[in-house]
Amino acid sequence: MKNTRDPNEPLLFDNTTVGLTPVARNLLKGSWWELMRTAILRLMPVERIGAKLSEKTGRPSKELYSVCALLFVKDYFGWTFREAVERYVFDVRVRYAFNIQECGPELSEATLYRYSRLFTENKAAAEIFTRVTLSLVEAMSVDTSRQRLDSSTHVDGNMAVLSRKGLLYNVIQNFLVQLKRRFVTEYGRLPQDLLDRYGRHNGWIFAESDGMRRKGVAKSLESSVLVADLVLLAKRFGGQAGIADMTSFRHLLRVLSEQVEAQADKQAETQADKQADGTPSLKRHTGGKVLVNPSDPEAETGHKGAGYQVQVAETYGDGDKPSIVTTVVPQGGSEVDSASLGAVLDAAEENGVKPERLLCDAGYGSRANVGMAAERGVGLVSPCTCSASLASHGDSYIDLCTFDGANRMTACANGVAPLSCKRYESRRGLPAQWRAVFRPEDCDGCPFKDRCPARKEGRKTVFNYLDSQAATKARRDHERTDEFREEYRPRSGIEATFGRLKQFTPLGRLRVRGRDRVFSQIEAIFAMHNIMQSVAYIFRNGIDAVAAAAAMTVKAGKTGMASEEAIPVAGRLFSWLFRAFDVFSDKKQEIRTAFMNASGLRIIWI
C-alpha cells in the first residue's frame, strides 16, 4: 500500500527536532537541509516510485517522499547502500530534511536497493533535475538567456578499462567459467591446452608466474592465439541450444564481430600485415560503439576514453546570482560533440530554458551548427572548428584575402583587385562557386605564389572559392577582435564547475555501471549541485523558494497541498487545530516537553 506523508501538511509537534538544542536548530536553518525540508522535498516524483502500489490494500510501503529524497542525495554524496541506511536511521539532519516523523525509523539495505531499482527504471532523477532546476530558476529569477556549454566531460563507470588483448582474454575466460558451471560435459571436451591458458589463476596474458614457469608456459603469447581461440569457441558452440543463449557467449560473439575480421575481407596496406595462412586478425579500427568490458556492455569508447560523457549547459553573468545548470544530456562515450548540439537545444527547449546566446568551444563551432542554432533562435558564440589548427600552422591563404559583405573578393593576399569576380551556380547539385579572375602579370613576383591555389586558364589566372570559405574567413576575423574575446571570456567558467564536481562528488568515477544507472546518478548529481549553488543566495536574500516549489508541483501535475474538500471532516478539524498551534511555532517544543513531563505520557505524531 502506498505510504506518503504530504510535506505541506502542518504538524502539531515536529519529532525531527526532539532533543535538539536551540543552537542545533539554528544551525539547520539556513543550510541545504532546511531548503530540502521546506521546498525541495515536495518536488520528489513519488507518483513514479509508487505507480504500481495500491492506494488501499497491502502492507504499507516505506514513506515514499523520504526514501526518494534519500536515493537522490545518496547519489550526490556517493554513499553506499549501507551508509545511506545508517544516515536514514541515525542522522538527525537526514531525518529533519526528509521529514521522517517516526520514532525509530527502520530501513534495510535490501529494501533500499529495491526502491533504487524503481528510482532508476522510472527515470526519477531526470524528473527531479527538471523540477528542481525550474523551481530554483523561478525562485531566484535567474536569467537563462545567456548560457555556456562545455565540450562533453568524461564520466567513468564502475568498471575496469581493458586493453584489446585483455578484453579478448576476459570474454573467453568468463565464457569458460560459465560453461564449466552449466555444461561440464561440453567443457571437458575442449582441448586441454586451451583450458590451461584461461585458468582463473593463470594470468599469462599479464605477467609471468611461478606456476607458468613450472609448466613451461611462455611469458606472453601473441594476440593471434586469442583470436584463434575466440573463433574456435564461436564455431563450436554457435548452434547449440542453451549455450548460445548464455550472456557470456553473446558477449563472445559480439567481440568476435566487432574486433576480428576474416583475412579474406582485410585489405592489408603493407606486406608485413598479410598472413599467408588466412587466419582471422584484429581490426585496425573498430569504432566507438563496441564492447569495452563485459561488466558494462552499454559503455562506449571515444577519444576521451571508455565509459560515458555528459553535455552540460549553465547560466552565467547574472550579477551575484549563482550559475545554475539548466541542461544535462548524458551520452555514451563515443558521441561526437559537434553532433550533440541539437540534443542539448532540444532538451533546453523542452524544459523552457532555451538560451538566446550560447557560448561553446570549438568542438561545436561548425558552420552547420551555427546555422542550425540561428534557425532555432540561438546565437552560437564559438571559435571556428579549424581555429586551433590555424593557430599552430599559421593563416590559410584565403584568410589573407579581403571580401565584401556579399562574399565577393575585393583583393587577393598581395592586395591586387581581380578583374572580375562572379558567382556561378552548379548544375550537379554542388555548392555555388565564386570565380575571381586576375591578369597573369599580377602574379609575377607575388610573395604568396607558393601558397596561392589559383591556377592558370589560357591567358588568365583564376581563383575559385566557396561561400563557406569566405564566411569562415569572416568568422576568424571576428575572433581576433577585442569584442569577441570579451564576449567569449566567461565560457571557461564552466570548467570550474566540472573540476569542483569531480573533486567533491562521485562524478569523476561513479559507483554504478550500466547506462540507466549511470545516467540516473549523473542527473542526480547536477540537480543536487544546483541546490548547493542556490542555498546561500536564497537564505541571504530571503527568497520564498517554497512558493516556487509549490508552483512547480502544480506544473508537474501533482496536487500539492491537499484541499479542504479532499480531507474528511475529522481530518479537517485536526488541520485547523494544527494551524492554530502554528501561531506558537517558536514554543511548540517547549509545550510538548512540558506536557510530557506533567503527564508522564509520550506523544507521537505521525
Contact of 168 with 80, CB cutoff 8 Å? no
Average pLDDT over residues 549-572: 49
Contact of 69 with 96, CB cutoff 8 Å? no
Report whether pLDDT(29) > 90.
Answer: no
Cell of 437: 579572375
CA 77 – CA 100 distance, rounded (Å): 20
Average pLDDT over residues 1-16: 86
CA 568 – CA 562 distance, rounded (Å): 11
Q: What is the pLDDT of residue 270?
A: 41
CA 297 – CA 515 distance, rounded (Å): 9
Report whether pLDDT(442) > 90.
Answer: no
CA 84 – CA 75 distance, rounded (Å): 10
Q: What is the pLDDT of residue 284?
A: 85
Q: What is the pLDDT of residue 205?
A: 52
Higher-confidence position of 563 and 319: 319
How many Cβ atoms are within 10 Å of 376's Cβ, its own excluded? 14
H-helix segments, 238-366: 247-259, 341-350
Report whether pLDDT(568) > 50.
Answer: no
Report whether pLDDT(557) > 80.
Answer: no
Q: What is residue 422's three-state secondary structure?
A: strand
Average pLDDT over residues 224-237: 92
Q: What is the pLDDT of residue 552?
A: 62
pLDDT class for 165, splitting at 50, 70, 90? Answer: confident
Q: Report the b/e string of 507-545 with b at 16+ CB within 10 A.
A: beebbbbbbebbbbbbbbbbbbbbbbbbbebbbeeebeb
pLDDT class for 123, splitting at 50, 70, 90? Answer: very high
Q: What is the pLDDT of residues 35-68, one digit of tens each?
A: 999 999 999 999 999 888 888 888 899 999 999 9
Report whether pLDDT(550) > 80.
Answer: no
Reported as type and span, the H/E element at residue 437 is strand 433-438
Cell of 488: 567569449
Average pLDDT, the chain: 84
DSSP output for 455-473? EEETTEEEEEEEHHHHHHH
3-state secondary structure 551-562: HHHHHCCCCCCC
DSSP output for 347-377? HHHHTT---SEEE--GGG--HHHHHHHHHTT
Cell of 11: 504538524
308 forms beta bridges with: 155, 332
DSSP output for 21-50? -HHHHHHHTTSHHHHIIIIIGGGS-HHHHT
Contact of 379 with 358, CB cutoff 8 Å? yes
Report whether pLDDT(137) > 90.
Answer: yes
Q: Which of 334, 291, 307, 302 is nearest to 166 (CA)?
A: 291
Q: What is the pLDDT of residue 551?
A: 66
Cell of 409: 573578393
Burial class (CB in 10 A: 0-12, 13-18, 19+), 299: buried
- The whole-angstrom distance between residue 122's C-alpha and the CA centroid of its chain comes to 17
Biggest CA–CA distance in the chain, Å, is: 114
Q: What is the pLDDT of residue 593?
A: 58
Backbone angles phi, psi at 437, to 5 degrees: -110, 130
Q: What is the pLDDT of residues 466-514, one digit of tens each?
A: 888 888 888 888 888 999 999 999 999 999 999 999 999 999 899 999 9
Q: What is the pLDDT of residues 355-385, one digit of tens each?
A: 999 999 988 988 889 989 999 999 999 988 7
DSSP output for 536-577? HHHHHTT--HHHHHHHHHHHTT---SPPSTTS-HHHHHHHHH
Average pLDDT over residues 78-98: 95
Report whether pLDDT(260) > 80.
Answer: yes
How many Cβ atoms are within 10 Å of 302's Cβ, its own excluded? 21
Average pLDDT over residues 578-601: 53
Q: Distances in Å between the alpha carbon of 158 and those of 246, 290, 307, 507? A: 23, 17, 9, 11
Give the predicted TM-score (pTM) of the model.
0.82
Ordered by start, the domain boundaries in the chain are: 15-122+563-599, 164-265+275-282, 394-468
